[in-house]
Amino acid sequence: MKTIIIGGVAGGASAAARLRRLSENHEILIIEKGPYISFANCGLPYFMGGDIKDKNDLILQTPMSFYKRFNIDVRTNTFAHSVNAKENTLLLKNLLTGEEYTEKYDNLILSPGALPVKPQIKGIEKAFTLRTIPDTEKILEEIKARNAKTAIIVGGGYIGTEIGENLSLKGLRVKIIELGDHIVPTLDFEMAAEVQAYVRKKGIELFLNSKVTEITDNGVMLGSGEEKADIVIMSAGVRPDTDFLRDSAVNLTSKGLIKVDDRMRTNIPIIYAVGDAAQVSNFVTGQESFIPLAGPANKQGRIAADNICGLKSSYKGTQGSSVIKLFDMTAATTGISETAAKKAGLNFDKTYTYSMSHASYYPGAKGMSLKLLWERDTHKILGAQIAGFDGVDKRMDVIAAVIRLGGNVSDLTELELCYAPPFGSAKEAVNMAGFTAENVITEKVKQFFWNEVDCLPRDGSVFLLDVRTEKEVKSGSIEGFVNIPLDSLRSKMAEIPRDKPVYIHCHSGLRSYIACMMLKEHTQVCYNLAGGYRLYQIAKNEMISGDYPCYTK
């Protein structure tokens, strides 16, 4: 039995190693067009920035080590030109010698990954892209050769912002140009606003809602004119690297993704596909999706190998758990965003909480902002986003696990998580998100949101209340809100009208929630600003476009 694997990195290498562990009798051949297999593409930005000093640290296996340990034949610099699914053969080309030959397979695993998108704009050949170790070396050589001081990154997704961070740490002045209204598009606008405010402080210039129309000798052309830089790196997303399959009988989507079933089988039962190039179902919505991430690619590689060996493993979908470090900040997501929930037509609700990374009395506690989305009818958790500085990944992993197990908001309240002052809080950030969501579901509190604040009437028909301290108010306030600090509220109850809706805010949403509870019997109805003044202010400062009705310019 001979299995050929196209692509020797995340999905391909994982499939090969699992196949060998399951069967000593298989003949396994990996075909890789690049010079390396099993390299850490996720580590490339850090090699660029200098955190990873030796390129060899990025290479987890070599053809020789794979052969020695797993008895796997690895052919690097070899391009799989085409698949002949009738004859079960591949046409291969040795990229060093030009020699072409065919190989026959009993099973084929396709793990060709994804290519950086190169928009059809003038001068595109002048821009660099990042996918491989040689790509990274080319960028580093160019920086050195030109003594580059400035860089433009086109695209503010995960990879683009990571490149931006690393070049900035290397001492370059970095500009990120993004077509959308915010960077890191898996975050919603207001959560990305936290990240943007921080990376700006770190010296990265952001150009949002900006389209690059040309790569020039000195930078890029935008609608507003030429933006100059010594090097331009295109990081405008990825697309499946499946052009070589166009004339094969393997079914592809219109976007070039390979269609697979839950056992990673294509329409041709002996051909499997895994990783970035395979279409997956979104674990939360069930919709067919393109979610290129390393964890799913590795898991799918293992599943394809299992099925070839007769184990009936299945893949249940990708939920998009991802995390990014930007200087000292961490942002993480799992499940779907509010934008995606709206697109999928889901009936959802949301909360924002602001918690400390560990007990606030123990030195070094840092705040983190957490957004939680759940389905209104079932209370099932749909997704979460966190931006903060410490312990973000751990909270996100907990929520990711709850989503994977089909959990709901109450499950978050019940989780018993490790606690000692240096590590967390007795009422953990994840528990707090659950408590807050439960308060909303059980209608203990009604919420209003950052993008609704400026739409509230200022004609006296509602009462706008700010329960922060006088000192806090001095450093910034929202027009029309009357300040009565929370601790004076009981004694000043008479100043709050009984016959009008009351909208309350504090800094983070906690004191205003307490105020709502105090006023329960006093007022007609009370609304709490979810995320508080903090989130409102950060998001409003990042507002550019007219997407949010009250902020149209």
| Distance in Å, CB of 48 to ligand FAD, minimum | 9
Could you tell me the two tokens for 349? 């609700």
* Pick 42 or 473: Cβ nearer ligand FAD: 42
| Distance in Å, CB of 414 to ligand FAD, minimum | 29
| Distance in Å, CB of 100 to ligand FAD, minimum | 13
Q: Which residues contact 417 (CB under 8 A, 6 or more apart)?
A: 398, 424, 428, 430, 431
Out of 28, 108, 151, 159, the only residue in the binding site for ligand FAD (CB under 6 A) is: 159
| Distance in Å, CB of 80 to ligand FAD, minimum | 4
Instruction: Give the residue ranges of DSSP H helices in 327-456.
Output: 338-343, 392-404, 409-414, 429-441
Check binding of 319 to ligand FAD (CB under 6 A): no
Could you tell me the two tokens for 251? 């079914």
Q: How far apart are CA 285 and CA 318, in angstroms?
A: 10
| Distance in Å, CB of 115 to ligand FAD, minimum | 8
Report helix, strand or coil for 487: helix
CB 385 within 8 A of CB 371: yes
Q: Which residues contact 8 (CB under 8 A, 6 or more apart)?
A: 16, 30, 31, 32, 34, 36, 37, 38, 74, 76
| Distance in Å, CB of 31 to ligand FAD, minimum | 5
* Pick 251 or 477: Cβ nearer ligand FAD: 251
Check binding of 131 to ligand FAD (CB under 6 A): yes
Check binding of 297 to ligand FAD (CB under 6 A): yes
Check binding of 42 to ligand FAD (CB under 6 A): yes
Contacts 24+ apart (CB under 8 A), 517-526: 517/444, 517/445, 518/489, 518/490, 519/489, 519/493, 522/493, 522/496, 522/498, 523/463, 523/496, 523/497, 523/498, 524/498, 524/499, 524/500, 525/446, 525/501, 526/445, 526/446, 526/501, 526/502
Site for ligand FAD, residues 335 to 374, rule: CB under 6 A? none
Check binding of 295 to ligand FAD (CB under 6 A): yes
| Distance in Å, CB of 6 to ligand FAD, minimum | 5
* Pick 293 or 403: Cβ nearer ligand FAD: 293
Check binding of 165 to ligand FAD (CB under 6 A): no
CB 323 within 8 A of CB 294: no
Q: How far apart are CA 183 and CA 546, in angstroms?
A: 17
Out of 10, 29, 384, 543, the only residue in the binding site for ligand FAD (CB under 6 A) is: 10
Out of 58, 80, 260, 271, the only residue in the binding site for ligand FAD (CB under 6 A) is: 80
Out of 11, 155, 185, 501, the only residue in the binding site for ligand FAD (CB under 6 A) is: 11
- Which secondary-structure segment (H or E) carries 502? strand 502-505
Check binding of 240 to ligand FAD (CB under 6 A): no
Out of 244, 290, 481, 527, the only residue in the binding site for ligand FAD (CB under 6 A) is: 244
User: Nearest-CA neighbor of 94 among 9, 148, 31?
Assistant: 31
CB 502 within 8 A of CB 462: yes
> Which one of 42, 418, 506, 516 is the catalytic residue?
42
| Distance in Å, CB of 533 to ligand FAD, minimum | 33
CB 547 within 8 A of CB 189: yes
**Binding region for ligand FAD (CB under 6 A) out of 17-25, 42-50, 424-432, 543-551:** 42-50
Report helix, strand or coil for 93: strand
Q: How far apart are CA 137 and CA 126, in angstroms?
A: 16
| Distance in Å, CB of 129 to ligand FAD, minimum | 9
Unique residue bearing structure tokens 């160019």: 142
Could you tell me the two tokens for 89? 């053969």
Check binding of 41 to ligand FAD (CB under 6 A): yes
* Pick 395 or 507: Cβ nearer ligand FAD: 395
Out of 111, 161, 318, 537, the only residue in the binding site for ligand FAD (CB under 6 A) is: 111
**Binding region for ligand FAD (CB under 6 A) out of 193-201, 209-217, 269-277, 521-529:** 269-277
Told to judge if 506 belongs to the known catalytic residues of this protein, a careful annotator would answer no
Check binding of 292 to ligand FAD (CB under 6 A): yes
Check binding of 210 to ligand FAD (CB under 6 A): no
Check binding of 536 to ligand FAD (CB under 6 A): no
CB 259 within 8 A of CB 281: no
**Binding region for ligand FAD (CB under 6 A) out of 176-184, 259-267, 272-280, 335-343:** 272-280
Report helix, strand or coil for 279: coil
Check binding of 139 to ligand FAD (CB under 6 A): no
Total binding residues toward ligand FAD, as defined by CB under 6 A: 32
Q: How far apart are CA 166 and CA 174, in angstroms?
A: 10
Q: Determine the residue type at 545.
A: S
* Pick 135 or 188: Cβ nearer ligand FAD: 135
Residues that bind ligand FAD (CB under 6 A): 6-7, 9-12, 31-34, 41-42, 44-45, 79-80, 111-113, 130-131, 159, 241, 244, 275-277, 292-295, 297
Give me the active site residues, please.
Answer: 42
